[in-house]
């Protein structure tokens, strides 16, 4: 039976292994590049503000104007076309897939549940 110390040590080792995985390293590198890209930062901020504006209008029961929808669509297209932001989306999908696979591997089998 594992005690807490052994479990935490194994978790630290797993964390270190995950941090060194190519998908995690690439995602971190792309995030760093985006932090230094003024255009990407501005585009993400504009996109976020537009989503917040539309969400606020929806929650208040106010109409969403055609211009609001057009601006959101335009910003979505610009985000999708920006090379670094596109790379970030791909790297993010790879990272999320890795984390999903790790989570599945750690899932306790139904017949291995603690006695209770």
What does pLDDT average to over the chain? 93
Q: Say if CB 69 and CB 5 are below 8 A apart.
A: no
With respect to residue 42, please indicate whether it lies within any of the assigned structural domains: yes
* Higher pLDDT pick, 116 / 19: 19
* Helix extents (H) in 1-116: 4-20, 22-35, 38-59, 66-81, 83-106
With respect to residue 55, please indicate whether it lies within any of the assigned structural domains: yes
With respect to residue 41, please indicate whether it lies within any of the assigned structural domains: yes
Neighbours of 43 (CB within 10 A): 19
Neighbours of 91 (CB within 10 A): 19
Q: Is 71 helix (H, G, I), strand (E, B) or coil?
A: helix
pLDDT digits (tens, 9 = 90+) for 17-51: 999 999 999 999 999 999 999 999 999 999 999 99
Q: For 47-63, what is the mean pLDDT?
A: 96
With respect to residue 91, please indicate whether it lies within any of the assigned structural domains: yes
Look up the domain containing 86 and give its range: 19-100
pLDDT exceeds 80 at position 106: yes
With respect to residue 115, please indicate whether it lies within any of the assigned structural domains: no
Position 104 scores a pLDDT of: 93
């Amino acid at each position: 039976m594992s005690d807490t110390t052994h479990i935490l040590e194994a978790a630290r080792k797993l964390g270190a292994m995950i941090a060194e995985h190519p998908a995690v390293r690439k995602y971190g590198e792309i995030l760093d590049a985006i932090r230094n890209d003024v255009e990407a930062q501005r585009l993400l901020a504009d996109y976020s503000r537009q989503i917040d504006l539309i969400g606020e209008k929806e929650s208040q029961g106010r109409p969403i104007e055609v211009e609001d929808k057009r601006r959101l669509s335009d910003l979505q297209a610009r985000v999708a076309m920006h090379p670094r932001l596109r790379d970030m989306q791909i790297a993010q999908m790879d990272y999320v897939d890795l984390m999903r696979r790790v989570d599945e591997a750690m899932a306790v089998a139904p017949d291995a549940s603690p006695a209770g």
